[in-house]
Structure 1
Amino acid sequence: MIEPVPSPPNAMPRGPRVPTGLLALGLALWALLMAAWVSTAVFDRLPHVEDEVAFLFQARTFAAGHVVAPAPPEPSSFSIPFVIVRDGMWFGKYPPGYPLVLALGVLIDQPWLFNPIAGAVAIVLLYRAGRTLYSPGTGLLAAALLALSPFFLLQAGSFMSHVAGLIWALALLLLFARARSTGALLPAVAAGAAVGMLFLSRPLTAVGVGLPFALLAAVDFITGATGRRRALALAAGFLPFVALLLAYNAYTTGSPVRFGYELWWEYDRIGFGPDIGPRGHDLARGILNTRYNLDALRHLLYGWPERLTLLPAGIAVAVAALALLWHAAPLRRYVALVRRWPPARGSAPWGWDLLLAASVVSLVVVHIAYWTPGQMYGPRYYFEATGALALLTARGLLHLAGALAWALRQARLPARWSRPLAAGAVLVPVVVLSVSGLATDGVREFRAYHDWYDINGDGLRRVEAARLEHALVFVDAGYWTAYAPFFAQNSPALDGDIIYALDRGPARNQALAAHFPDRAVYRYADGQVTAVGP
C-alpha cells in the first residue's frame, strides 16, 4: 500500500533544539525596524495617498473621543479627498475599524509608528499560527519569508489599513484552530470578534478571508451539538461588529447599508453594471483587474523570479489535495472527516493547507466584483492573504526538502546526512533569493515610492523652523497633494496650536480668519512663511 506523503516537519533535520520562539521575536524586531525605516526614509512619516489622509483624520477624531468632528467653518478651505462634510459633520469615508486602532498611535503622538508595530505583531502571530497548525520550524520559515517581503515592508511602513487587517486574519486562524482543538467556546467567540474587526475595517476583505471558515462553521452547525455550539459562539463574537458598522453607517450617511464610499463617489459600490465604477464594471473587467494584481503579487511578494513565487504554495496545495483524496474516499466519509478535522497539530495538517488555500482563493475571487484593481504599495487587496501564502509557501518548501531527503536515502545516504543536506539544498537558495530580492526589487520599489505624489515633509519643516505659535497658516496649493501633509497635522476640532487651511484668495481667507480672531495669520507659498496679519 502506498503511504501518504509525510508532513513537512519530518523533513527537518534533527539536531540541537533551536530556540524558534526567540528567532521569531528577532524576526519581529527586524520587521519593526525595517518598517520604521520605510516609514521614515521612504514616506517621511506622512500619509501619501487619499486613503491614508482620511484614515489619519478619522483616527485623530476617535482619539479625541468623538465619532465625527464638527464641520469646519468655510469647508472649502479644508477640502481634501475622501474627507466628507455632511449635515454639520466632518468624517472620513471609510469604515471605522482601522481608524479605531490607528488612534492608539495618535494617542502617543506617533501615528506613523502604529503600522511598524502592527507589522511586528503580525510576524509573531504568523509564527504562532505555523507552530500551532504544523510545527515550530514551519512557523519560523513562514515568518522569515514575510519579514523579508518587500510587499509586507511597504505596507507596514505606510498608513494603510492592511497590516491591521492581516493581524485580524491571523487572529481568526489561530483562534479558530484553538476552538477546534480544545472544544472551548471562548476561543470561538474571540475568532468571531477577530473577523468582526476585519469586517468593521474592510468588509469585502472580511467576506473573502472569512468565507471558508464560515462554510466550515456551517458544516459544524448541521452535523452535531458540539459543532453547533461552536458555530453559535463564532456568530456571537461576529454579529456585534456587524451591528456596530450598521450603526456607524446610519449615523454618518443616514442609512445602515450605505457606506461613506458612496457619499464621495456614488458609483463606488461592489457589483456589476453600468452604474458601478466610473465607466461601468463587468466580469471581463474584474478578471482583467485580477490578472493585473496577481502579476504584481508574483513580482512583489518575495522579490523572487515571478515564476517561482507561487510555486511552493502550489505544491503544498497539490499535496494536500492528494492527501484529502487518500483519506476521504469513498465520498460518504467527507462529512465525518470534516467533523473531526483537524483537532490538533500533526493531525491531518493538509486540512489546514486546504483551508488556507480556500481563504486565499476566496479573497481573490470576491474582489473581481470590485471595479478598481486598487494597487497602492503593491496589490493591496490581496495583502490579508500574505500570512496564508507564507504558511503555504513554507509547507511547499518543506515538502520539497522531504522529497529530496527521501531521494538521498534511496541513494543509500544515511538519514543523519540526508536530512540536513536536503534542508540546506532547499532553504539556502530560498534565503539567497529572498535577501537578494529585498536588496534589488525591494529597494527599487522603496525608491519609486519616495516622495510619492510629490508629498514630503519639507514644507512642514520650514513652518516648524519659523517657530509659529497659535497660528492660522494658509497653504498655497494648486492640487490636494501639496496640502495633504499640512492637513494631516490638523486637529479635527481645529483647536491645535497651528491650523493649516487652503489659500482660497484674500476674500475667502479673510472670512475664515474671522472665525479665529485671536490667531496670528500666515501664508505658506514657494517654501516661504510670510506673516499676513494679527
Structure 2
Amino acid sequence: MSPEAVAAGGLAVLTGVAVFALASTVFEYHSSNHDEAVYLQQAAMLLEGKLELAAGDLVGAFRPWFFVEDGGTLYPKYAPVPAAMYAISMALFGEPRVTLAAIAAANTGLVYILGAAVADRRVGLVAAALFACSPMAFVTSATFLPYAPTTLCNLVFAVAYLRGVRTGGYRWGAVAGLAIGIAFFARPYTAVLFALPFVAHAAYTALACLADEGYWPLPTTARRQLLTALCGLCFVLVTLCYNARLTGDPLTFPYAAFAPLDGPGFGYRRILDHAIEYTPGVAVRANGFAVWYLLSRWVVAGLLGAGLALGGIAVVVRAWQREGDSLVDPTAGLLVAAVVPSVVLGNVPFWGNYNLLATLSDPTDGLVSQFGPFYHFDLLAPVAVFAAVALVVGWRRLSSRLAAHGPVSPRRLALSGLLVSVLVLAGTSAVLAATPVDRNAAYAEKYDTAYGPVEAADFENDLVFVPTPYGEWQAHPFQVLRNDPGFDGPVVYALDRDPAEDFAVIDAYPDRSLHRYTYRGEWSADASEHVLPRLESLSVRRAAAFDAEAVVGVPDRVDRAHVRLTTQGGGPVEYTVDDPDTELTVPWSLDGNNASLDEAAGAVALDETDLVVVTVTLVQPDGSTLTYRQEATVRADGDAVEVVWPPERTVCRLTTACGREGTYLPDHPGEHLGGVSFRVSLDPE
C-alpha cells in the first residue's frame, strides 16, 4: 500500500472520529432540522421489519413529522436507504451515530480515490484533506440527514465507473450500476443530476464502439455499459415496487403522496401550509444565492478554495486539449467537472433551495445558516478534487522554477508548499465552520434545557402527553420524544389534543402511569429563546361527583376579581368579588351531568367529553388584569364523571388566555409576579 493511501486512510478515520464527536455533543439532541427524527423513526421501523406504523384509531395522536397518514397506518415521505444505513449501527452498536462517522470516513476515502483517478495519489490525498475540511461536509455529515449518505453512493458510482473505463472490468460496471441505483432509491433527483454526465459518456462510448465494431457479438465496452445500466435499473425497479407498496401506484413517490406539489418544477409549489409561485426568476435568484453561499462559506476555505477549483478545472481542460499532460486523466477530469453544471442547473427547478433561505440575501438566516445549501452537497467532492489538482500542479511547476535558481530539491519544495497550503486552507475552513457550529451549539443548549425533566425521569411503563407548538406532529419540534414502532416501549408519547382524543389514548393504555410534558414560554425557532420545562404526573379520577377548589394569591392593588366557568360548548357562569383578600378561594364542582360554580349557584351541562375552564381575573384600578386559568379534561356519563388531574394551569397578564407562555410553575416562583400563587384540589363528594 502506498504512503498516500495509508495517509488517506488515517485521514478518513480522523474525519469519522471528528464527525462522531460533533454528532455526540453539538447534535446530542439533534438539530433544528426536524427531518432527522423522520429517518431515525424509519430506522427503528426497519429493525422491526416494518415499512408502516399501525396506529389504528389513534393515528392522529401518534403521527410523526413528515409521515403520510393512510387510514390507520403511517409511513414516511422519505425512501428508506439512509434510514437503513442508520439502522445497521443501531443493530450492531445501539448507536446510530456510528453510521454518521462511517459515512464521513468513507466519503473522505472515496474522494481520495476519485482524486487519484483524475490525477494521481498525491492529488487524491490533498483532495481528501480538502473535502474533510469543508465546513458543509463536517457539519451536515454529523446529522441524520440523507445528503452525506446519498453522496456516498454517488461517489462509489463515480469511482467504480472510472475504474471500469480504465480497466474494462465488468465487475466495476456492475458496482457502478448498483451504487447509482441505490442512490436513486435514496434520492432520485439527486442521483439523476450526479449521474447525467456519466450516463451521457456511457451512451456516447457504447454507440461509438457499436459503430466501429458492429452489434454482434456485443463489444466489450457496450457490454460493460449495458451491465451498469441493468444493475442500476434493478434498483429503479425496487424503487417503483416500494412506491407501489406504500402509495398504491409505482409512479407516485411517498413524498408526492405527502405533498403532491412539492416536487421539481415551476409554478405553484406547496407543502403543508407553505406555498409560493415558484417562477423561473425566483428560482434563478434563489439558486444563485445558494451557490454563492456554498462557494463563499461552505466549501473548503470559501472563495479561496473555489478559486483553486476553477484553476484545477482549467488544468483539466488544457490537458484534454493538449492530450499530453501526464498528471491529469482528461476523461475522468471532464466527467467529474461536468457534475458541477449538472448539479447547479438541475437544482434550479427545485424549490427546496428557496426554502433553505429564510431571507434570500441573508446567509445567517434559515437552514442554510446552520447546514449550508445541502441540496448541493455533491459539489463538495469536485471542488476538493480540482482544488487539489490546482495545488499539486501549481506547486510542482513553481518548485521546479525555484529549484533552478537554488540547491533546494523540487520534490521537497513541492511537498512543503503543499503541506503549508493545506494547513492554510484547513485553518480558513475552521474559521468558516466555527460560526455554524456555534449556531447549532446554541440549539443544543436550548434542547438540553427543554428535555431536562424527561432525561431525569426513569420511565418503565408510562404514557406522556406532549404539546403541539407546531401543529399536531410528533417529533416536530421534540425529536427526542419518539415512540417505538409498536407504540409499546417503556414510554409512549402521545400528542396532547382535545378531551375526546386524549381519553381515547388513556383508554388504550389503561395500566400506564400518566404524565404531561409542558413548559413555560413560547417555543420558537430562535435558539436564544429558551423555555422552562416541566414533567407533571397525572391521574384519572372517577366518582359520582367531585368538589373542587382553586386558591389563588391576590397581589397588591387589586380591587375586584371576576370568576368565570365555561366548557367547550356551554357557559359562562360567573360572579364578581369586590376587595378580595390576599388569597381568594374559588369552589366549584362536577357530577355526571354538570359543572357548577358554587358561589354563582349556576351550572353548565357537560358533553360526553369536555374541557372545564375556570378563570379568576384580578383587576386593578387602572384596568390592568391578571388571570388565573385552569383547564380540566373531563368525561361524564350521567352516573359519574372522570377528571384528568391536575388541570393545566396558567397565569396571564392583560389577557385571559395566554397558552404556555403563562404556564404556572410552582417550583419557579421567581417566574411570576409577587403575590402570585395557585393551588388546586379535587375531592370526591
- Classify the TM-score, shorter chain: 0.7 to 0.9
Structure 1 residues 352 and 488: CA distance shift in structure 2, 3 A:
farther
Helix, strand or coil for the counterpart of 2:426? Answer: helix
Please give the alpha-carbon distance, in whole angstroms, between the structure 1 residues aligned to 2:448 and 2:179.
Answer: 35
Contact 1:176 1:188 in 2 (8 A): yes
Please give the alpha-carbon distance, in whole angstroms, between the structure 1 residues aligned to 2:54 and 2:63.
Answer: 14
Query: Which residue does 2:280 correspond to in 1?
Result: 283
**Alpha-carbon distance, 1:44 to partner:** 1.5
**Alpha-carbon distance, 1:327 to partner:** 3.1
Query: Which residue does 1:324 correspond to in 2?
Result: 320
The one-letter amino acid of 2:502's match is: N
Please give the alpha-carbon distance, in whole angstroms, between the structure 2 residues aligned to 1:486 and 1:206.
Answer: 28
Query: Which residue does 2:244 correspond to in 1?
Result: 250
Is residue 30 of structure 2 the alignment partner of residue 49 of structure 1? no
Contact 1:455 1:482 in 2 (8 A): no
Contact 1:47 1:53 in 2 (8 A): no
How many positions carry a matched residue from both structures? 498
Please give the alpha-carbon distance, in whole angstroms, between the structure 2 residues aligned to 1:239 and 1:310.
Answer: 35
Please give the alpha-carbon distance, in whole angstroms, between the structure 2 residues aligned to 1:362 and 1:463.
Answer: 46
Where structure 2 has 5 or more consecutive residues not aligned to the other structure, the ranges are 210-218, 357-366, 520-532, 541-685
**Alpha-carbon distance, 1:207 to partner:** 0.8
Is residue 220 of structure 2 the alignment partner of residue 240 of structure 1? no
The one-letter amino acid of 2:188's match is: P
Please give the alpha-carbon distance, in whole angstroms, between the structure 2 residues aligned to 1:248 and 1:482.
Answer: 25
Please give the alpha-carbon distance, in whole angstroms, between the structure 2 residues aligned to 1:487 and 1:431.
Answer: 38
Given the alignment, which residue of 427, 436, 452 partners 1:435?
Answer: 427
The higher relative CO (CA closer than 8 Å, separation ≥ 6) is in: 1
**Alpha-carbon distance, 1:302 to partner:** 4.1
Is residue 406 of structure 2 the alignment partner of residue 413 of structure 1? yes
Aligned pairs for 1:61-460 (under 5 A) are 61-107=45-91, 108-224=93-209, 225-274=219-268, 278-302=275-299, 304=301, 306-327=302-323, 349-373=329-353, 375=356, 376=367, 377-409=371-403, 411-414=404-407, 416-425=408-417, 427-438=419-430, 440-452=431-443, 456-460=447-451
**Alpha-carbon distance, 1:164 to partner:** 0.8
Please give the alpha-carbon distance, in whole angstroms, between the structure 2 residues aligned to 1:214 and 1:482.
Answer: 39
Please give the alpha-carbon distance, in whole angstroms, between the structure 1 residues aligned to 2:133 and 2:509.
Answer: 49
Structure 1 residues 463 and 452: CA distance shift in structure 2, 3 A:
closer
Query: Which residue does 1:340 correspond to in 2?
Result: none
TM-score (norm 2): 0.68
Query: Which residue does 1:8 correspond to in 2?
Result: none
TM-score (norm 1): 0.87
**Alpha-carbon distance, 1:398 to partner:** 1.1
Please give the alpha-carbon distance, in whole angstroms, between the structure 2 residues aligned to 1:22 and 1:419.
Answer: 20
The one-letter amino acid of 2:535's match is: V
Please give the alpha-carbon distance, in whole angstroms, between the structure 2 residues aligned to 1:163 and 1:497.
Answer: 32
Please give the alpha-carbon distance, in whole angstroms, between the structure 2 residues aligned to 1:457 and 1:493.
Answer: 27
The one-letter amino acid of 1:327's match is: E
The one-letter amino acid of 1:349's match is: D
Query: Which residue does 1:335 correspond to in 2?
Result: none
Out of 52-61 and 353-362, give the one that drifted further: 52-61
Out of 124-133 and 158-167, give the one that drifted further: 124-133
Please give the alpha-carbon distance, in whole angstroms, between the structure 1 residues aligned to 2:442 and 2:73.
Answer: 32
Given the alignment, which residue of 10, 16, 21 partners 1:32?
Answer: 16
**Alpha-carbon distance, 1:76 to partner:** 2.5
Please give the alpha-carbon distance, in whole angstroms, between the structure 1 residues aligned to 2:72 and 2:538.
Answer: 29
**Alpha-carbon distance, 1:181 to partner:** 2.3
**Alpha-carbon distance, 1:417 to partner:** 2.7
Query: Which of the two has greater helix per residue?
Result: 1
CA RMSD of aligned residues (A): 2.5
Where structure 1 has 5 or more consecutive residues not aligned to the other structure, the ranges are 1-16, 329-344
Contact 2:16 2:101 in 1 (8 A): yes
Please give the alpha-carbon distance, in whole angstroms, between the structure 2 residues aligned to 1:87 and 1:477.
Answer: 22
Contact 1:71 1:85 in 2 (8 A): no
Helix, strand or coil for the counterpart of 2:504? Answer: helix
Is residue 459 of structure 2 the alignment partner of residue 468 of structure 1? yes
Please give the alpha-carbon distance, in whole angstroms, between the structure 1 residues aligned to 2:334 and 2:478.
Answer: 44
- Show CA shifts across 1:174-228 (max 9, x none): 2112212222212101100101111111111101110111111101221221221
Please give the alpha-carbon distance, in whole angstroms, between the structure 2 residues aligned to 1:524 and 1:246.
Answer: 41
Contact 2:463 2:513 in 1 (8 A): yes
Structure 1 residues 484 and 276: CA distance shift in structure 2, 3 A:
closer
**Alpha-carbon distance, 1:159 to partner:** 0.7
The one-letter amino acid of 2:504's match is: A
Query: Which residue does 1:504 correspond to in 2?
Result: 497
Please give the alpha-carbon distance, in whole angstroms, between the structure 2 residues aligned to 1:215 and 1:63.
Answer: 38
